[in-house]
Amino acid sequence: MKRILITGGAGFLGSHLSKRLLEEGNEILCVDNFYTGSRKNIYELLDHKNFELLRHDITHPLFVEVDQIYNLACPASPIHYQFDPVQTTKTSVVGAINMLGLAKRLKIPILQASTSEVYGDPQIHPQPETYWGNVNTIGPRACYDEGKRCAETLFFDYYRQHNLEIKVIRIFNTYGPNMNPQDGRVVSNFIVQALKGEDITIYGDGNQTRSFCYASDLIDGMVRMMNSPKEFTGPVNIGNPNEFTMLELANLILEITESKSKIVFQELPQDDPLQRQPVIDLAQNKLNWKPNIELEAGLIETIKYFKNII
What b-and-e string marks burial along 88-97, b requiring 16 or more CB atoms within 10 Å of the CB?
Answer: bbbbbbbbbb
- The residues with which 175 forms a beta bridge, in sequence order, are 214
**Contact, 21 vs 223, CB < 8 A?**
yes
**Contact, 132 vs 189, CB < 8 A?**
no
281: CB partners within 8 A, 6+ apart:
128
144 is catalytic: yes
**Contact, 225 vs 111, CB < 8 A?**
yes
56: CB partners within 8 A, 6+ apart:
31, 32, 33, 62
Which listed residue (35, 144, 158, 175) is catalytic? Answer: 144
**Contact, 144 vs 88, CB < 8 A?**
yes
Active site residues: 144
